Amino acid sequence: MKILSVTPLALPEIRVVRFARFPDLRGYFTESFNQEDFSGHPGLSFLSEQRFVQSNESYSRAGTLRGLHFQWDPPQGKLVRTLHGQMIDIVVDIRRGSSNQGRGIMYDLTSDEDREYGEWIWVPPGFAHGTWFPRASRIEYLCSAAYNPGAEGAITPLSEDVDWSLCDTTLRAQFRTFVASEALLMSDKDRAGMSLSNWLTDSRAREFRVQG
């Protein structure tokens, strides 16, 4: 696996890992994940204690909004990429003691077969995670812990008290238009998720703290 770059976003714990594709006249080949390369790369030391135990694939129709999900026992991080289509990744910091608590960002992970690279985005434990799909898309995500339905939570992505001051302004404007559309597709569970403020005052919120 040829790792090209590891880039922190406006929430610096969220990283984008760019890896090489090798194109020819037929298309391209890529090694999208290699545990040894991840473990040995100096820019990925933050993953040294993570072990990916599960790989999931999800398909979403155009207009779908999912999230904002998190799990505290065991703490679960996600390494996410778009296989086909366009995913806007949404992340909100929900850690107690964080200077960025309550702030959210978005990142456009569009799949383009003509690019000479692919991208993963790393969302560690302590961050609520969602996805928005302007067009029909398939994504893959690796999980650092097994799913535990008894220790998961959700903040609705429609929560009006998320601080988007760190978010890309173009994506934020597009998101406002998107959620106002009659074509918006959401599960009842995600619509009924907590507001950010309700979660932060919930006793379970203490499960997520800034480490160190």
pLDDT in tens, 51-102: 899 999 999 999 999 999 999 999 999 999 999 999 999 999 999 999 999 9
What number of other Cβ atoms are within 10 A of residue 19's Cβ? 22
pTM: 0.94
CA 53 and chain centroid, separation: 17
pLDDT at residue 73, as a whole number: 94
Domain membership of residue 212 (yes or no) is no
Q: 153 is in which domain, residue-wise?
A: 3-206
Domain membership of residue 121 (yes or no) is yes
Q: What is the DSSP letter of 1?
A: -
Domain membership of residue 211 (yes or no) is no
Q: Residue 56 is encoded by which pair of tokens?
A: 């999931």
Domain membership of residue 26 (yes or no) is yes
Distances (CA, A) of 4 to 26, 114, 115, 123: 23, 17, 13, 19
Q: Residue 50 is encoded by which pair of tokens?
A: 């993570």
Residues labelled catalytic? 69, 141
Band (pLDDT 50/70/90 cuts) for residue 182 is confident
Number of domains in the chain: 1
pLDDT at residue 211, as a whole number: 67
Which domain CATH number covers 194?
Answer: 2.60.120.10
Taking residues 142-157, report their average pLDDT.
Answer: 94
